[in-house]
Amino acid sequence: MRYAAPMNARLRTLLSTGAACAFVLAVTLACKGGSKTSTKPQEPASALASTKKDYAGDWEGGGVTLHVGDDDVNYEKKTGSTTTKYEGKLDHFDGDDIVIKILIADATLKVQSPPAETGGEWKMTVEGTEVTRKGSGSSGATAKLETAIQASLAGKGVALKKVSCPSSKPPFDCTVETGLGDTLPAHCAMSGTDLDWEINAAILDGHKLEGLINSTLVVDAQCPPGNLLKAVGATFTCDAVDKKGAKSKVDVLVEDKTGKVHISSTK
């Protein structure tokens, strides 16, 4: 059965019954055209890449699923046997609210609480329902943590290949892969409202380490170049040549986070 009703937007309310069939009711949306001009700050859709970047992604909770992307916004809410949907293109932001262009009309998703990070998760309240960003660890707090770890270690001269953190609630371990092939865990936990991290490792200056080996064992040592990130308790080797030209290996044991090491020669 089809109901002929004015349709300024593609809002569809799906009414399911116990029967195998479903009825589709076209519902008229309130159009912004002709309505009173909003006094809220207006931001274009492009703000999703800047001031409104926290809105981007997939959200769910309380029977609601919401996708906010550059080209589309999809909102669905299930209440009992009723499903309400908004599908359209992101038009602009009306204050905290999300305005969708659907055909020739605008539909507004009211946002009571804009996106905010809480305990490592991103949440917002839209149309009266609190939703959580899916995979918020990687999209929100986790991504920031990965960036923070990379920036900190790179700032100390450590060449990195990759830093990856899980999309779960802390505490958890991130994985740090260095440019020299080392893989180390970085333990992450909440400290108040902040997410802190710590690596049980030392940063060793390869050039200074060579000098220490040369003066201790009276050899010509060659260690990996640059600053080395090595786990406490780990042993690695440097190449060495003694005064007679004999080649050997030097074992370097990292004793603590300050960079204290134990050096021993092996043939």
Question: What are the domain boundaries of the chain?
Answer: 12-134, 137-199, 203-266
Looking at residue 2, its pLDDT comes to: 37
Looking at residue 136, its pLDDT comes to: 53
Rounded Cα distance between 150 and 154, Å, is 6
Rounded Cα distance between 173 and 186, Å, is 5
Looking at residue 24, its pLDDT comes to: 31
233-239: which pairs have CB atoms within 8 A and are 24 or more residues apart?
237/266, 238/209, 238/210, 238/213
Looking at residue 79, its pLDDT comes to: 85
Residue 209 structure tokens? 């380490």
Looking at residue 194, its pLDDT comes to: 75
Looking at residue 141, its pLDDT comes to: 65
Looking at residue 263, its pLDDT comes to: 96
Looking at residue 15, its pLDDT comes to: 34
Looking at residue 68, its pLDDT comes to: 92
Q: Which residues of the chain have pLDDT under 50?
A: 1-35, 137-139
Looking at residue 1, its pLDDT comes to: 35
